[in-house]
Structure 1
Amino acid sequence: MTSESADASSSSDYPIDPPIIDLHIFTHDSGFYDGFSREVTIPGKIIVSLIIMWAIFFPVSAMETLQVANSTIISSFSGWYVYLVAALIVVCGILALVPQMGSLRIGGPGEKPEFSRFSWFSMLFGAGIGIGMLTYSTGEPLAHFANNPDIIRGTIEAGTAEAVRPAYMWTFLHWGFGAWCTYALVGLAIGYVSHRRGLPLTNRSSLAPIFGKSMSGIAGHVVDIVAVVATILGVAVTMGLGVQQFVAGLYRVGMGDWLMVEAGDGSGLTASAPAIVAALLALVGASTLSALSGVGRGIKWLSNINMALSFGLLALFATVGVGIGGLELLAVGVWDYLVTLPANSLTLFSSDGSQAGDALVQWQLDWSVFYWAWWIAFAPFVGMFIARISRGRTIREYIFGVALVPSLMCFLWMALAGGTAIELELSGQAGGQILETGISDQLYATLAVLLSPGAALIVSGLVVVLLMTYLITSADSAILIVNTINGAGDDEGARRYHIVFWGMALAFVVGSMLILGGIEAIRITMIIGALPFSIVVVAMCVSIIKAVVFDLIRKRHGVPTTAEACEGWAG
């Protein structure tokens, strides 16, 4: 009997057994942890609490440790992140393009999708890119416009028209298939066994095709604990970026000089400690209330606002911004991205002792490795969410939908918003006002140059509102996903006190790290924290391939592959 075997007995005439359709995860039926697995919930809370206390009570030691980690551990594992993400793209491509694999359904035979394609795409768009889009839609193209590997090598000059194409090639690399194939793989590994085989909607279930019912025990607890910690740290990076941009926006619309102070490294203005605390109290408080109201009210209502404001802002850049030039940037950028994808996905810069070599290594650590770790840390959250909304779709439709549509939306945002900022700088109209400000303020700076003062004030205010709704939506979704993992895949029942705990924990992680060392402290903590879950992701790759291949073998021999079919099968 393999780990794929079911409890139902099978005839010796069949070369393979049905899959596991039951994975029991013990949860308590009374007390404070009613409906929860204490073996997952308590260790997860302890680990996150220790991280918070370490940052608050031992700030000097924490910062020194993070700096050492940044120069040793992260550098040592940069290749691991680069090659892992490249492998995820390949695995997703195989699963989608092999006809027999791609035709398998994430659910029962003939089951129809729960959501229309439009609703599904809308939810995918909001799942993992909202806050990052607002920060990086102008910030990343501008950053690579000023510094990218070609500029470091000296083949092109920074801030010139020749620097635009490579700027978009690298931007699209970071926001394209690498990100969305990571999410797609994790979501497919969870959703396939959950919707097709009736296993709990949680990370450990994805490994049942390899390890069988042992995932009910300690090994499964460890996988879910790692997923909880990775989710909190991944969302903390997103929240950290969003809080800084939120405070910068409030400063731009005239809410007070106390919001911003001069950065310690002299790089410009940054959010003050009182502003960070006030913003977190408001945002996480609102997200906790939204989470308490449930998916049907708070999250759904806020998501609708997000979509309307997002497309309104996009239309603004399309009409009064770069316009047709942005579409040209999009077309050229997508072409450059696709033809260089294999080489860039497998490139690992190494130091040759020269100044340029060291700069290339540092650039990759600051950008590519940071992104790959961020996507991996964010994957248990986004993957679980995508798995929940993708029931009834074929593997091919699922992968193409998850990998292609959000990637194109990211590219469109980068081309229109970032292209507008670059055009304003190239034409001299901006005069360095956009490039010389911090990444959290560059979107507002672009609006200030592009529009009249009155219009810029109004649109900046709308961006603040949009950012606020994205922050609240991301935080409350993450809190609910963490509770779903802790509840063995069940998102019903009494969760109020636990929702409040995770809301406070998220606020403390973000606040303590931002005040300790800015976004850099959160970035380093997240990259380290993503390492354990990256091992889980590798196991998920093996597991989903095994699950799909074995189901194809079962179909060929007339052995059931779904929970409904297995229940009445006796071999």
Structure 2
Amino acid sequence: MKPPITEIDIKTADGGFYDGFTTHVTITAKLIIGALIVWAVAFPEQAGAFLSNINSFILAFFNLWYIYAIALFLLTCFILAAVPSSGKLKLGLDHEKPEFDNFSWFSMMFGAGIGIGMLTFATAEPLYHWQSNPQTIQGITTESGADNVRAAYQWSFLHWGLGAWGAYALAGLGLAFFSYRRGLPLTIRSSLTPLFGDRMAGRTGHVVDVVAVVATVLGVAQTLGFGVEQFIAGLERIGFGSWLTRPDGDGGTTSTTAGIIFALVVIMGASTLSALSGVGKGIKWLSNINMGLSFFLLAFFVIFGSTFFGLSALFVGIWDYLVALPGMLFTVWDADAAGVEGELGDWQAAWSVFYWAWWIAFAPFVGLFLARISKGRTIREYVLGALIVPSLMCFVWFALVGGTAIDLELSGTADGAIVGAGQEDQLFAMLAVMLQPALAWIFSVIVVVLLLTYLVTSADSAVLIINTINAAGDEGPKARPHILFWGAALGLVVGSLLIGGGLSAVQTAMVIGALPFSVVMVLMCVALFKAVYRDYKREQQGIPTLYDPAQPAE
């Protein structure tokens, strides 16, 4: 048996504007994203219709692929962590220790991966599923009834729990294993070397990295799109003016073009400045701030919210979720079928398949970031930290915050004020129901600040990750023009799609961008199992499995 591959020769520019970057990857990714921006701005209706048709095709014919892919990612992580011989393997050399302490590690992981979702969806998602879910479609529970609370949390936990973090953890595990044990570049292509060998240094590897960059941009754009809408709603709540929104014709409101541009200038400007400072300074500092504010806000709901209702929803919901998880992970309903089966299929496409695509599109960003901050940890420690702990944190948020909203509606205290608000405004509406106007304003300001730090953390982390992939895994400082370009590109993608077609346009582009990267991630699972097994056989034969930094491979 031969030693593992510990070097792939990825060509990078030796000078000029793209010094240190892989021009094939960088320029191709820029052209694709630039073309999307120009298309969305110049021909918004045509772009929207075309993207919508592709989206419908993907949701109709690839729903089974997305559902089984997420199940595979989760099983891969658990198996590698549970097997003693693989779980004890360190993501790094034997003597290396973690760079960040546990609190900073968890803060950066949570803030970059799913923090924004807590502010938008911890209220909205349980409320949505309390009104409609597969159990109500089948007539098992009552829409907006007390008997539907358990079902609401079962499906909320499915979308924001182990499935989401399984995709992130799998991507990060593949990157960390091959980068820190084999000495390969910290880029997506390195994780496929057991399958394709030296071809990862050429065109095949270029394609993999371009797919990862495009998926990252669209996945982060989806997250920023939700965040921008809520940021604008919060600014209006705290008195920045009615110019931020306008009536949408259906009794609600939508963000104005001026509001979207203003929000993006603030968010992307701050995130670009943070990205210029690097992971160890700006991003770490912001992550610790938003983690502290998150615990403060969560403590507020523990003290003043529907605590007993929320804790009941938490413990009962986790039990229901774990018992039903195998069925929810592997069940595929046919949207083309008649009757209840078709309704269930439509619901699954609109919810579960959409979320699985979102997490897959977000995985190259969060995965590479997780790998970057997890060097020196064992596979078992990494999986427990990157999969179980954040899931539990999400469950706590959904139970206490969303549970308070449901309880206020069930008791009649809210009188429809929370349910009737737009998704982006429901948290602020709940604060207005719970508190006197002055206190509601103060807490709304706290939420707006917390939301801004989460948005900035996600955006600046994404810019650094994109440049790391473009630079063939080089984690060192990047030239300012490239940081500025990708910061502007993220803002323009979000702005052009939001202005041209709203959040649905952003969602459509993201689902399309996630499909090719889902293939890469499935191959990553195969590569990890092959690499771990072959390393076990190498150790039996006395063949080294770790790279030697003092003697790099020829």
Q: Structure 2 length normalisation: TM-score?
A: 0.97
1:362-377 correspondence runs (5 A)? 362-377=346-361
Give the conservation status (yes or no) of the 8 Å contact 1:377–1:529: yes
- How far the C-alpha of 1:353 sits from its partner, in A, is 4.5
- How far the C-alpha of 1:59 sits from its partner, in A, is 1.0
Partner of 1:116: 101
1:543 to 518, 527, 532: 527
Give the direction of change, closer, same or farther, for the CA distance of 1:267–1:150 in structure 2 (3 Å limit).
Answer: farther
Give the direction of change, closer, same or farther, for the CA distance of 1:225–1:267 in structure 2 (3 Å limit).
Answer: farther
Give the direction of change, closer, same or farther, for the CA distance of 1:565–1:494 in structure 2 (3 Å limit).
Answer: closer
Unmatched segments (≥5 aa) in structure 2: none
Partner of 1:439: 423
1:314 to 295, 298, 303: 298
1:223-234 correspondence runs (5 A)? 223-234=208-219
Give the conservation status (yes or no) of the 8 Å contact 2:112–2:461: no
- How far the C-alpha of 1:494 sits from its partner, in A, is 4.2
Give the direction of change, closer, same or farther, for the CA distance of 1:244–1:536 in structure 2 (3 Å limit).
Answer: same
Partner of 1:21: 6
Q: Could you tell which deviates more after superposition, 347-356 or 380-389?
A: 347-356
- How far the C-alpha of 1:110 sits from its partner, in A, is 4.3
Q: Could you tell which deviates more after superposition, 338-347 or 268-277?
A: 268-277
Give the conservation status (yes or no) of the 8 Å contact 1:20–1:212: yes
CA distance in structure 2 between the aligned counterparts of 1:197 and 1:566, rounded to whole angstroms: 13
CA distance in structure 2 between the aligned counterparts of 1:361 and 1:560, rounded to whole angstroms: 50
Q: Structure 1 length normalisation: TM-score?
A: 0.95
2:226 to 241, 245, 250: 241
Partner of 1:409: 393
Q: Could you tell which deviates more after superposition, 160-169 or 317-326?
A: 317-326
1:47-126 correspondence runs (5 A)? 47-126=32-111
CA offsets 1:524-568 (integer angstroms, 9 cap, x no match): 110011011001001101111111111111111111000129949
CA distance in structure 2 between the aligned counterparts of 1:540 and 1:59, rounded to whole angstroms: 36
Letter in 2 for 1:552: Y
CA distance in structure 2 between the aligned counterparts of 1:360 and 1:351, rounded to whole angstroms: 7
Give the direction of change, closer, same or farther, for the CA distance of 1:452–1:36 in structure 2 (3 Å limit).
Answer: same
CA offsets 1:111-139 (integer angstroms, 9 cap, x no match): 33223333322222223111111110001
- How far the C-alpha of 1:221 sits from its partner, in A, is 0.7
1:197 to 179, 182, 203: 182
Partner of 2:205: 220
1:349 to 328, 333, 339: 333
SS, match of residue 548 in structure 2: helix
Partner of 1:127: 112
Partner of 1:360: 344
Q: Could you tell which deviates more after superposition, 460-469 or 484-493?
A: 484-493
Give the direction of change, closer, same or farther, for the CA distance of 1:114–1:289 in structure 2 (3 Å limit).
Answer: closer
Partner of 1:158: 143
Partner of 2:154: 169
CA distance in structure 1 between the aligned counterparts of 2:29 and 2:165, rounded to whole angstroms: 26
Give the conservation status (yes or no) of the 8 Å contact 2:7–2:553: no
Letter in 2 for 1:146: Q
Identity of aligned residues (%): 57
CA offsets 1:233-277 (integer angstroms, 9 cap, x no match): 00000000000000000111121111111225x161121111011
Give the conservation status (yes or no) of the 8 Å contact 1:138–1:414: yes
Aligned residue pairs total: 554
Unmatched segments (≥5 aa) in structure 1: 1-15
SS, match of residue 563 in structure 1: coil
SS, match of residue 329 in structure 1: helix
Q: Could you tell which deviates more after superposition, 449-458 or 112-121?
A: 112-121
Give the conservation status (yes or no) of the 8 Å contact 1:24–1:216: yes
CA distance in structure 1 between the aligned counterparts of 2:381 and 2:106, rounded to whole angstroms: 12
SS, match of residue 254 in structure 2: strand
1:517-528 correspondence runs (5 A)? 517-528=501-512
CA distance in structure 2 between the aligned counterparts of 1:566 and 1:541, rounded to whole angstroms: 30
CA distance in structure 1 between the aligned counterparts of 2:20 and 2:320, rounded to whole angstroms: 50
- How far the C-alpha of 1:352 sits from its partner, in A, is 6.2
1:139 matched to 2:124 = yes
SS, match of residue 19 in structure 2: coil
SS, match of residue 275 in structure 1: helix
Partner of 1:209: 194
Letter in 2 for 1:380: P
Cα RMSD of the aligned pairs, angstroms, is 1.6
Give the conservation status (yes or no) of the 8 Å contact 2:334–2:341: yes
